[in-house]
Amino acid sequence: MRKEIVFCDNLPYLRVMPSETIDLIYIDPPFNTGKRQRRKHIEVEQDPENGDRTGFNNKRYRTLVVSETGFKDDFNEYQDFLRSRLKHAYRVLKRSGSLFFHIDYREVHYCKVLLDEIFNRSSFMNEIIWAYDYGGRSTKKWPAKHDNILWYAKDPNSYTFNYEEMDRIPYMAPSLVGKKKAARGKTPTDVWWHTIVSPTGKEKVGYATQKPLGILERIVKVHSSPGDTLLDFFAGSGTLGEAAAKNGRGFILVDCNPDAIEIMAERLHEYKPDIYLCADLTGYDKLESMGKVIQISSK
Protein backbone atom coordinates (compact mmCIF):
# COMPACT_ATOMS: atom_id res chain seq x y z
CA MET A 1 0.00 0.00 0.00
CA ARG A 2 1.43 3.37 -1.03
CA LYS A 3 2.09 5.89 1.73
CA GLU A 4 3.97 8.82 0.25
CA ILE A 5 4.74 12.44 1.05
CA VAL A 6 6.11 14.31 -1.96
CA PHE A 7 7.88 17.69 -1.96
CA CYS A 8 7.23 18.84 -5.50
CA ASP A 9 5.33 21.33 -7.62
CA ASN A 10 2.05 19.48 -8.15
CA LEU A 11 1.65 20.16 -11.88
CA PRO A 12 4.82 18.39 -13.09
CA TYR A 13 4.16 15.63 -10.59
CA LEU A 14 0.63 15.12 -11.93
CA ARG A 15 1.95 15.05 -15.49
CA VAL A 16 4.03 11.94 -14.81
CA MET A 17 1.38 10.05 -12.83
CA PRO A 18 -0.10 7.04 -14.68
CA SER A 19 -3.72 7.35 -15.83
CA GLU A 20 -6.57 5.80 -13.85
CA THR A 21 -4.53 4.77 -10.79
CA ILE A 22 -6.17 6.83 -8.04
CA ASP A 23 -9.40 5.87 -6.24
CA LEU A 24 -10.22 9.18 -4.56
CA ILE A 25 -8.93 12.75 -4.80
CA TYR A 26 -9.54 15.40 -2.18
CA ILE A 27 -8.01 18.84 -2.67
CA ASP A 28 -8.22 22.03 -0.67
CA PRO A 29 -6.52 24.51 -3.03
CA PRO A 30 -5.69 28.09 -2.12
CA PHE A 31 -8.92 30.11 -1.99
CA ASN A 32 -7.59 33.08 -3.98
CA THR A 33 -8.32 35.47 -1.13
CA GLY A 34 -5.45 37.78 -2.06
CA LYS A 35 -4.06 37.43 1.46
CA ARG A 36 -1.20 35.52 3.04
CA GLN A 37 -2.43 32.63 5.19
CA ARG A 38 -0.46 32.54 8.44
CA ARG A 39 -0.07 30.38 11.52
CA LYS A 40 2.08 31.72 14.36
CA HIS A 41 3.84 29.48 16.89
CA ILE A 42 4.11 31.23 20.25
CA GLU A 43 5.56 30.81 23.71
CA VAL A 44 4.84 32.90 26.80
CA GLU A 45 6.99 34.04 29.68
CA GLN A 46 5.99 35.76 32.91
CA ASP A 47 6.28 39.56 32.68
CA PRO A 48 4.39 41.51 35.39
CA GLU A 49 5.29 44.90 33.87
CA ASN A 50 4.84 44.47 30.11
CA GLY A 51 2.73 41.34 29.80
CA ASP A 52 0.14 41.37 27.02
CA ARG A 53 -2.03 38.54 28.39
CA THR A 54 -3.34 37.29 31.73
CA GLY A 55 -2.87 33.69 32.80
CA PHE A 56 -3.10 31.46 35.87
CA ASN A 57 -3.75 33.31 39.16
CA ASN A 58 -4.12 36.56 37.17
CA LYS A 59 -0.38 36.72 36.51
CA ARG A 60 0.75 38.72 33.45
CA TYR A 61 2.62 37.03 30.61
CA ARG A 62 4.42 38.32 27.52
CA THR A 63 3.85 36.62 24.13
CA LEU A 64 6.91 35.56 22.12
CA VAL A 65 6.52 34.58 18.45
CA VAL A 66 8.84 31.60 17.99
CA SER A 67 8.13 30.94 14.31
CA GLU A 68 5.52 31.45 11.63
CA THR A 69 4.33 29.25 8.77
CA GLY A 70 2.12 30.21 5.88
CA PHE A 71 1.69 30.65 2.15
CA LYS A 72 0.62 33.32 -0.30
CA ASP A 73 -3.00 32.82 -1.34
CA ASP A 74 -3.10 35.00 -4.45
CA PHE A 75 -3.13 33.93 -8.09
CA ASN A 76 -3.75 36.42 -10.87
CA GLU A 77 -4.76 33.65 -13.26
CA TYR A 78 -6.61 31.46 -10.79
CA GLN A 79 -8.78 29.60 -13.29
CA ASP A 80 -5.83 28.74 -15.53
CA PHE A 81 -3.85 27.68 -12.48
CA LEU A 82 -6.63 25.24 -11.51
CA ARG A 83 -7.59 24.07 -15.01
CA SER A 84 -4.24 22.52 -15.87
CA ARG A 85 -4.19 20.60 -12.58
CA LEU A 86 -7.81 19.48 -12.67
CA LYS A 87 -7.41 18.05 -16.16
CA HIS A 88 -4.73 15.74 -14.81
CA ALA A 89 -6.86 14.99 -11.74
CA TYR A 90 -9.57 13.70 -14.08
CA ARG A 91 -7.02 11.63 -16.02
CA VAL A 92 -5.45 9.90 -12.99
CA LEU A 93 -8.80 8.99 -11.38
CA LYS A 94 -10.11 5.46 -11.86
CA ARG A 95 -13.53 5.11 -13.49
CA SER A 96 -15.06 4.41 -10.08
CA GLY A 97 -13.25 7.35 -8.46
CA SER A 98 -14.44 10.70 -7.17
CA LEU A 99 -13.01 14.19 -6.76
CA PHE A 100 -13.81 16.33 -3.72
CA PHE A 101 -12.95 19.97 -4.30
CA HIS A 102 -12.91 22.15 -1.16
CA ILE A 103 -13.31 25.88 -1.77
CA ASP A 104 -15.04 28.93 -0.28
CA TYR A 105 -17.98 31.11 -1.27
CA ARG A 106 -15.83 33.65 -3.17
CA GLU A 107 -14.72 31.16 -5.83
CA VAL A 108 -17.14 28.23 -5.74
CA HIS A 109 -19.36 29.37 -8.63
CA TYR A 110 -16.37 29.88 -10.94
CA CYS A 111 -14.88 26.56 -9.90
CA LYS A 112 -18.09 24.64 -10.49
CA VAL A 113 -18.30 25.92 -14.08
CA LEU A 114 -14.67 24.87 -14.58
CA LEU A 115 -15.29 21.39 -13.13
CA ASP A 116 -18.43 20.99 -15.26
CA GLU A 117 -16.23 21.67 -18.28
CA ILE A 118 -13.60 19.08 -17.30
CA PHE A 119 -15.70 16.32 -15.70
CA ASN A 120 -19.01 16.99 -17.53
CA ARG A 121 -22.09 18.41 -15.82
CA SER A 122 -23.58 14.93 -15.42
CA SER A 123 -20.66 14.02 -13.14
CA PHE A 124 -21.62 16.65 -10.57
CA MET A 125 -23.12 14.78 -7.61
CA ASN A 126 -23.36 17.18 -4.65
CA GLU A 127 -22.37 20.53 -3.30
CA ILE A 128 -21.65 19.82 0.36
CA ILE A 129 -21.85 22.74 2.75
CA TRP A 130 -19.50 22.46 5.70
CA ALA A 131 -21.07 24.76 8.29
CA TYR A 132 -19.31 25.87 11.47
CA ASP A 133 -19.87 28.48 14.15
CA TYR A 134 -16.59 30.03 15.22
CA GLY A 135 -14.81 33.37 14.97
CA GLY A 136 -15.83 36.98 14.56
CA ARG A 137 -19.16 38.19 13.22
CA SER A 138 -19.61 41.05 10.80
CA THR A 139 -21.98 43.86 11.70
CA LYS A 140 -22.42 44.86 8.04
CA LYS A 141 -23.50 41.57 6.42
CA TRP A 142 -24.48 38.00 7.27
CA PRO A 143 -21.33 36.36 8.71
CA ALA A 144 -19.84 33.77 6.35
CA LYS A 145 -19.57 30.55 8.39
CA HIS A 146 -19.30 27.79 5.82
CA ASP A 147 -17.07 26.26 3.14
CA ASN A 148 -18.18 24.51 -0.05
CA ILE A 149 -17.09 21.01 -1.09
CA LEU A 150 -17.95 20.00 -4.66
CA TRP A 151 -18.25 16.26 -5.35
CA TYR A 152 -17.72 14.96 -8.89
CA ALA A 153 -17.82 11.27 -9.81
CA LYS A 154 -15.76 10.38 -12.86
CA ASP A 155 -18.49 7.96 -13.96
CA PRO A 156 -21.84 9.14 -12.56
CA ASN A 157 -23.33 5.71 -13.21
CA SER A 158 -20.71 3.69 -11.34
CA TYR A 159 -18.82 5.13 -8.38
CA THR A 160 -17.79 4.11 -4.87
CA PHE A 161 -20.39 4.99 -2.25
CA ASN A 162 -20.26 2.88 0.91
CA TYR A 163 -23.56 3.88 2.47
CA GLU A 164 -23.19 1.59 5.48
CA GLU A 165 -19.87 3.25 6.38
CA MET A 166 -21.56 6.60 6.83
CA ASP A 167 -21.39 8.02 10.34
CA ARG A 168 -24.80 8.87 11.77
CA ILE A 169 -25.92 12.11 13.37
CA PRO A 170 -28.42 12.62 16.22
CA TYR A 171 -32.10 13.32 15.61
CA MET A 172 -33.11 16.81 16.71
CA ALA A 173 -36.32 15.38 18.19
CA PRO A 174 -35.45 11.76 19.16
CA SER A 175 -38.72 11.27 21.03
CA LEU A 176 -40.61 11.49 17.70
CA VAL A 177 -38.81 8.56 16.01
CA GLY A 178 -38.64 5.91 18.74
CA LYS A 179 -35.75 4.50 20.76
CA LYS A 180 -34.34 2.22 18.04
CA LYS A 181 -34.08 4.92 15.40
CA ALA A 182 -32.87 7.48 17.92
CA ALA A 183 -30.06 5.16 19.06
CA ARG A 184 -28.96 4.55 15.47
CA GLY A 185 -29.08 8.20 14.41
CA LYS A 186 -29.95 9.53 10.99
CA THR A 187 -28.14 9.90 7.67
CA PRO A 188 -26.29 13.19 7.21
CA THR A 189 -27.51 15.50 4.44
CA ASP A 190 -25.45 17.72 2.17
CA VAL A 191 -25.07 20.21 5.06
CA TRP A 192 -22.36 19.02 7.44
CA TRP A 193 -22.22 20.75 10.82
CA HIS A 194 -18.73 20.30 12.22
CA THR A 195 -16.53 22.53 14.35
CA ILE A 196 -13.29 23.90 12.95
CA VAL A 197 -10.00 22.56 14.29
CA SER A 198 -9.68 24.08 17.73
CA PRO A 199 -6.76 26.54 17.90
CA THR A 200 -5.81 25.04 21.27
CA GLY A 201 -6.94 21.43 20.74
CA LYS A 202 -4.86 18.25 20.36
CA GLU A 203 -5.76 17.94 16.67
CA LYS A 204 -4.04 21.22 15.75
CA VAL A 205 -0.67 20.65 14.10
CA GLY A 206 0.28 24.28 13.59
CA TYR A 207 -0.56 24.72 9.91
CA ALA A 208 -2.65 27.55 8.48
CA THR A 209 -6.00 26.40 7.03
CA GLN A 210 -5.87 22.90 8.58
CA LYS A 211 -9.18 21.09 8.00
CA PRO A 212 -10.91 18.83 10.58
CA LEU A 213 -10.14 15.13 10.55
CA GLY A 214 -13.86 14.36 11.03
CA ILE A 215 -14.76 15.93 7.67
CA LEU A 216 -12.05 14.00 5.84
CA GLU A 217 -12.85 10.69 7.54
CA ARG A 218 -16.47 10.91 6.41
CA ILE A 219 -15.34 11.39 2.81
CA VAL A 220 -12.70 8.66 3.00
CA LYS A 221 -14.92 5.97 4.53
CA VAL A 222 -17.88 6.51 2.22
CA HIS A 223 -16.11 7.23 -1.06
CA SER A 224 -13.21 4.76 -0.95
CA SER A 225 -12.51 1.21 0.23
CA PRO A 226 -9.72 -0.39 2.30
CA GLY A 227 -6.57 -0.75 0.23
CA ASP A 228 -7.44 2.11 -2.13
CA THR A 229 -4.96 4.86 -3.01
CA LEU A 230 -5.99 8.44 -2.20
CA LEU A 231 -4.42 11.62 -3.53
CA ASP A 232 -4.19 15.19 -2.26
CA PHE A 233 -1.96 17.43 -4.36
CA PHE A 234 -2.51 20.51 -2.19
CA ALA A 235 -1.75 18.46 0.90
CA GLY A 236 -0.97 21.20 3.44
CA SER A 237 -1.15 19.70 6.92
CA GLY A 238 -1.80 16.16 5.65
CA THR A 239 -5.31 15.61 7.03
CA LEU A 240 -6.28 13.38 4.09
CA GLY A 241 -3.23 11.23 4.81
CA GLU A 242 -4.21 10.71 8.43
CA ALA A 243 -7.83 9.95 7.51
CA ALA A 244 -6.63 7.45 4.89
CA ALA A 245 -4.06 5.72 7.11
CA LYS A 246 -6.44 5.42 10.07
CA ASN A 247 -8.94 3.64 7.83
CA GLY A 248 -6.67 1.25 5.95
CA ARG A 249 -6.13 3.28 2.79
CA GLY A 250 -2.94 4.35 1.05
CA PHE A 251 -2.15 7.97 0.31
CA ILE A 252 -0.05 10.27 -1.86
CA LEU A 253 0.36 13.79 -0.44
CA VAL A 254 2.00 16.44 -2.64
CA ASP A 255 3.01 19.94 -1.57
CA CYS A 256 5.71 22.46 -2.52
CA ASN A 257 5.85 24.14 0.90
CA PRO A 258 8.75 22.81 3.02
CA ASP A 259 6.87 23.70 6.21
CA ALA A 260 3.99 21.48 5.09
CA ILE A 261 6.35 18.57 4.40
CA GLU A 262 7.88 18.82 7.87
CA ILE A 263 4.45 18.96 9.52
CA MET A 264 3.13 16.00 7.52
CA ALA A 265 6.23 13.92 8.21
CA GLU A 266 5.83 14.44 11.95
CA ARG A 267 2.06 13.98 11.93
CA LEU A 268 2.18 10.72 9.95
CA HIS A 269 5.39 9.34 11.44
CA GLU A 270 3.67 6.30 12.99
CA TYR A 271 2.49 5.18 9.53
CA LYS A 272 6.07 5.21 8.15
CA PRO A 273 5.46 7.08 4.89
CA ASP A 274 8.08 7.26 2.15
CA ILE A 275 9.25 10.84 1.58
CA TYR A 276 10.33 12.02 -1.87
CA LEU A 277 11.97 15.38 -2.60
CA CYS A 278 12.46 17.46 -5.73
CA ALA A 279 15.92 18.95 -5.26
CA ASP A 280 15.32 21.99 -7.50
CA LEU A 281 12.62 23.51 -5.27
CA THR A 282 13.25 26.37 -2.85
CA GLY A 283 13.44 24.88 0.63
CA TYR A 284 15.03 21.57 -0.42
CA ASP A 285 18.11 22.25 1.73
CA LYS A 286 15.81 22.30 4.77
CA LEU A 287 14.48 18.83 3.94
CA GLU A 288 17.31 16.98 2.18
CA SER A 289 18.03 14.63 5.08
CA MET A 290 14.39 13.50 5.29
CA GLY A 291 13.83 11.55 2.08
CA LYS A 292 14.86 10.35 -1.35
CA VAL A 293 15.54 12.71 -4.25
CA ILE A 294 13.32 12.41 -7.33
CA GLN A 295 13.92 13.99 -10.72
CA ILE A 296 10.79 15.52 -12.24
CA SER A 297 11.12 18.13 -14.96
CA SER A 298 9.12 21.31 -14.39
CA LYS A 299 8.74 21.79 -18.17
| pLDDT at residue number 47 | 67
SS3 category, 143: coil
Sheet of 35-46, strand order:
35-46, 60-73, 53-54
Average pLDDT for consecutive 10-residue bins of the chain (299 residues)? 96 96 96 50 59 54 52 61 95 98 93 97 98 88 94 98 95 89 94 90 87 97 98 97 98 96 96 96 93 82
Domain coordinates of the chain in residue numbers?
3-34+74-294, 40-73
| pLDDT at residue number 39 | 44
| pLDDT at residue number 189 | 96
In this structure, the number of other CB atoms found within 10 A of the CB of residue 244 comes to: 31
| pLDDT at residue number 36 | 54
Q: How far is CA 104 from CA 91, 191, 233, in A?
A: 25, 14, 18
| pLDDT at residue number 58 | 53
| pLDDT at residue number 69 | 46
SS3 category, 282: coil
Question: What CATH number belongs to 3-34+74-294?
Answer: 3.40.50.150
